Structure 1
Amino acid sequence: DDEEEKYSVPASAKTKPPLKDVISIEMRKKGESLVKELFTNPNKIQYNQAMELVSSVVEDILSTDETVISVQDLRSYDNYTYQHSVNLAVLGVTVGKTLNYEPTKLKEFGLGLLFHDFGKTKIPLEILNKPGRLTTEEFEIMKNHAEYGYQILSKKYKLSDISKMVIRHHHEKLDGSGYPHGLKAGQIPEWVQIATIVDIYDALTADRIYKTQWTHQKAIEFLFDRGDKWFNMEYIKILQTTIPEKRDSFSLLDF
């Protein structure tokens, strides 16, 4: 979420209208409530509830022929931290469905995405909520969240390797410029590569304290511009088809 702080787009930029949502309003509300509980009471992690939620998300996505998501579907609530985690689970699982991943693996992937930012509970609020770019020192502190989340959750629960990899490595990039370990292409599992792409996409298309919301098209262009340097192009293309661009205006959907 962090490297994109310096980019901004005009508030008047073109946006997109709705398509059918892939999860219900009740499920999204339940997901955001669960993530809020994770962040406000990090010592009372609701693992079983999280697994049930992710299982329901996967089952809903697999049970429909729809593999497209409205950009505005991802923006129906105000609290970025909570909706971001749910968005990533929906986006990542939908991409995984397109790649014909088996349901069990999709659930493990979705759980990792839902928990991916849990380590931010250990980051000072003045850094998390800073209305501007982080200093070098602040960014170094922020970068610790991936390792914090991995260490806390892997000790507390028997997470799958997929879930743990997503939590720990969702900021890695193919050229080794990511964090926390500077992994390169051959060292980054495909689940993590997808997580990195949907994480950055969702961050770019959100209104944040320090940046204006990007349009879908500009966010996709950002991903393609960095191409094989940071990302697997195949996964960007799948994301692009998951959220079509040929629409004229935003409107809210049913959730």
Structure 2
Amino acid sequence: MFEDLDFPPYPSLRKPLAHAPALCAEDAALPQGRHEVRATEANLMQVMLEAQPQALFLLDAAGLILEVGGAWETLTGLKAEEARGRPLLEWLRYDRAHYPAALRRGQGVLEEAELLTRRAQHVVRVIWAERGPMIAGSLEPLKVSAQRTFDLSERLNHTERALDEAIHLLGVSQDAWQAEHIRRIVDFAQRLAGAAGLEPQDIRAVRWGAALHDIGKARVPQEILHKPGPLNALEYEVILQHPLWGVQVLAELPFLPAQTVDAVRHHHERWDGHGYPLGLREGAIPLVARIMAIVDVFDALTSVRPYKPAWPYQDAVEHLIRESGRQFDPELTQLFVCEVLGFSHLLPRFEAGQ
């Protein structure tokens, strides 16, 4: 796909491609060799594209990734199939006040943007240009000075502290139970994420997702949230909207990691596909949301609410085991029960499939 496009000015890309046909000129003189020559040229172009130091991308009019190439996987840590259909801006941080139309139309250069994915963090130069209904461009890694690295680290630390404080104040402003609920599930979630082997930046995203997972309930009337009896059909339909309302709220916070938004959107999905809002199942549910589903339910069961007493820990753990493989990711459930809660004596129940 990329070899048919006139990319923005990449001298290192154009120069080798311009000479590709010449490398096969001798064979091209033979009629019977024409098909082999075309295949050789195509293969050569593909090798050259993959050898580029830049990560190449092609976006549709909505900014969603159609195709990637060059050093994309090396630079971003994302496979092509993970990237297709997702917005490139999900992984880029830059001054949008100065570049309001970046990667949307026309052409231009972002001299310094932060590339943040689950597996990579770089400062990159972004070059893009409109090509009909599409946007073609590249990400080029930049060498960052020690001072710049320190500044970025300090800014990230400051942002983390400010966000943690804002989340704490948000919980306190709602009610005392909600504040304690947030405190507990943040602790459970980051411990489970650590037990699952997540990297520090991913654990940070899990922590924020745990703290913000129910932010959409701010739009749910209090009389529904705290109703002592069962909800009617209309009230239940209102409750079902809170994950999507939460995502709308987080749209105003573009610096949040994608995993944090995933936690808010998908924490009520079920392993068997019978959850909401999208009915995702098994591995299609983002990992952070699978973590949230377990810790949220466990804390809800073991807490006093207007409509129920607190369950004993043992009963709540047994509920998690029964729902393992139905409501919850079985591997994460076993990690939570055995590694986080310390109920390793129940391990035989997992092995027996109980």
Instruction: Give the TM interval when normalised to the shorter protein.
Output: 0.5 to 0.7
CA distance in 2, matches of 1:99, 1:187: 17
Offset at residue 34 of structure 1 (A): 1.8
Task: Say if 2:270 is the partner of 1:173.
Answer: yes
Question: Within 5 Å, which residues of 2 pair with 1:26-105?
Answer: 33-36=168-171, 79-105=176-202
Change (3 A) 1:213 1:91: same
Change (3 A) 1:152 1:98: same
Contact 1:175 1:229 in 2 (8 A): yes
Q: Please, which of 150, 170, 187 is the counterpart of residue 247 of structure 2?
A: 150
Letter aligned with residue 196 of structure 1? A
Offset at residue 35 of structure 1 (A): 2.8
Change (3 A) 1:188 1:32: closer
Q: Deviations over 1:216-243 (max 9, x none)?
A: 1111111111221111112112211212
Contact 1:32 1:82 in 2 (8 A): no
Q: Please, which of 203, 212, 220 is the counterpart of residue 300 of structure 2?
A: 203
Letter aligned with residue 211 of structure 1? K
Aligned residue in 2 for 1:164: 261
Q: 3-state SS of the aligned residue for 1:82?
A: helix
Q: 3-state SS of the aligned residue for 2:185?
A: helix
CA distance in 2, matches of 1:193, 1:233: 10
Q: Which runs of 5+ in 1 are unaligned?
A: 1-29, 41-77, 247-255
Offset at residue 245 of structure 1 (A): 4.7
How many residue pairs are counted as aligned between the two chains? 180
CA distance in 2, matches of 1:121, 1:172: 20
CA distance in 2, matches of 1:115, 1:33: 10
Contact 1:147 1:168 in 2 (8 A): yes
The normalised TM-score by structure 1 is: 0.66
Aligned residue in 1 for 2:313: 216
Greater share of strand: 2
Aligned residue in 2 for 1:192: 289
CA distance in 2, matches of 1:240, 1:31: 30
Q: 3-state SS of the aligned residue for 2:252?
A: helix
Letter aligned with residue 232 of structure 2? T
Offset at residue 145 of structure 1 (A): 0.8
- The structure showing larger relative contact order (alpha-carbon pairs under 8 Å, at least 6 residues apart) is 1
Q: Which has the larger radius of gyration?
A: 2
Change (3 A) 1:34 1:152: same
Change (3 A) 1:33 1:185: closer
Q: Which runs of 5+ in 2 are unaligned?
A: 1-164, 345-354
Letter aligned with residue 82 of structure 1? A
CA distance in 2, matches of 1:234, 1:124: 36
Offset at residue 32 of structure 1 (A): 7.8
Change (3 A) 1:33 1:164: closer
Contact 2:269 2:277 in 1 (8 A): yes
Aligned residue in 1 for 2:327: 230
Identical aligned residues as a percent: 32
Q: Please, which of 212, 215, 219 is the counterpart of residue 115 of structure 1?
A: 212
CA distance in 2, matches of 1:145, 1:219: 25
The normalised TM-score by structure 2 is: 0.48
Q: Deviations over 1:11-38 (max 9, x none)?
A: xxxxxxxxxxxxxxxxxxx78842335x
Aligned residue in 2 for 1:17: none
Letter aligned with residue 121 of structure 1? A
CA RMSD, 1 decimal = 2.1
